[in-house]
Structures are given as structure tokens and as C-alpha cells.
Amino acid sequence: MIPPAAAEPIFHIGTFPITNAMVNGWIAVVFFIVVAFLVSRRKALVPKGLQNLAEGIVEFMLSEIQKVTGDAKRARLFFPFVATIFLFILFSNWIGLLPGTGSIGVWEMIHGERELVPLLRPAASDLNLTLGIALFAVLASHAFGVYALGVTNHVSKFVNVRGIFRSFRHGPMAVIVAVIEFGVGLLEIVSEIAKVLSLSLRLFGNIFAGEVLLTVILGLFAYVLPLPFMFLELLVGIIQATVFSMLTLAYLTVATEAHGEEHDEGQRATEAAHH
């Protein structure tokens, strides 16, 4: 059976539905809490085992983030945020491939038909979750922008009234340029909304399409043939987590650049994200 586009509720807390995609997301959260607890308990001057693995991952990700930001200070500032998004999406995508996800559930009457409601579903195959992460990422970029530049300088990137008043001292041509920049700033507000839609729909579309593909293949051939497609989904999980987190990093980098530096730094960050 082809999975529906919307995640299915499996129980309610009061009137709040708890969906099968939310359960997979909670599993990812609990996993990282347990790992963080184990690593913090067994800290040693000379790392080994789990601590050695965790430190290696942190150092690699921090170096990659610094390649985009161009400086160590901002790399350390953005690292917890970007790394959390990357690891959560990656783990959520991968546990969606575990046996039983999408196939173990309860049969219920839905719209007059008896359908299987899976107990587990890949978290990123729920548009609500991807939309929430995307909205959080874009809002965080503005929070970091206000932190780095101040409220006035950051808001001026979008509503540059200050530039119009200043242009009066430099003649009519400067006023025209300032008005054009004001209009461009308003278009930037639209682009911020587009960022949320782009991030969320890209992640949802790829993971949901993979879930549909695997369901169809497993329905036709239960053995051997689905294995290459499962390995492909492992690769897709890495790619989608990387694209989402690197684009988020690009938005953070651009948001914390002063208006005069924004073009060059923003172009460098976006190019790195797409590579």
C-alpha cells in the first residue's frame, strides 16, 4: 500500500495527535541524548572508543563549517545549531530504513476502508516536521543577524528607510538608488518565505518519494532486488541532510554579514552549500 502524504496519528494526548512520524523523531532525539550522556560520563584526556568517534565527528564538521564562514569565531557560534540539524535529519532518515518502519502497525477503518496505520514512519516524510525545521532555521538566521549586527542594521537589509533619508544629502540620483534598494529589500522579505518553502519541500519530497519507491519495490519483490534501492536511500539520507544543513549555514553566514560585505560572503557561502 502506498503511504499517504500526511503522517497518521496513532494516539492522542488530549486533543493533540501523536503521529507515527513524530515517534520516529522522538527516537532520534532520545538516541542523541543517550549518546551525549555516555560521552560526557566517560571523558578522558586521551580519547578512546565512543569519545574518540564523537570528537572526530565534531572536528570534521567544525572544519567544514569554517570553510563556509571564513573565520573560526562564527564557525564555533554556528556549529551547535548546524550540526544538530544535520545529525537529526541524517539519523531520522536512516532509521526510516529499519525493518518494521512503515510495515508494522494496526489495521483501522479509514474513510470506509480497512487500512494499515504504521507505528513508525520516516520523520522527514511528514511535511509538518520539515516545515517546522525549515521555519526554525530561517528564523534562527535572523536571530543570529540581530545578534551580530544589531536590530537596526539587520532590519535595514529588508526595510531600508534609513538609506532613503540619508540619500537626500547626496542628490536626486542617490535618492533614486535608495528607493530601488528599498524595493529590493522588500523583495528579500519574499525570498525569506521562499527559503522556508524550498527547504521544507525539498527534504519532504525526496524522503517521501524514497518511501514510496521502497514500498512499491518491496511489494513487487521481497528479496534481493530491494537492497540496491535501500543503499540508494542511505546515500539520499546523507545528501539531503548535507544540503539542508549547508543551506542553513549559508543563510546564517549571509545574515551575519554587514550590508557592504553581504554580496561576496553570501555568494561564497551559497556556492559552498550547493557544492
CB 209 within 8 A of CB 2: no
Q: What is the pLDDT of residues 61-106, one digit of tens each?
A: 999 999 988 888 999 999 999 999 999 999 988 887 777 676 677 7
Domain locations in the chain? 9-274
Written as nine digits, the cell of 232 is: 540508494
- Distance from the Cα of residue 16 to its chain's centroid: 24
Give the chain's end-to-end CA distance (angstroms, integer).
Answer: 36
139-186: pLDDT as tens digits: 999 999 999 888 888 887 777 766 665 666 666 776 676 677 767 777
Using a cut of 0.85, tell me whether the model's pTM lies above it: no
Decide: residue 27, CB within 10 A, 0-12 exposed, 13-18 middle, 19+ buried. middle
What is the pLDDT of the chain when averaged over all its residues?
81
Nearest one of 27, 139, 38, 36 to 81, comparing CA atoms: 139
pLDDT of residue 241: 92
Q: Enter the DSSP assignment of 171.
A: -
What residues does 105 pair with on adjacent strands?
118
Cα 127 vs. chain centroid, distance in angstroms?
12
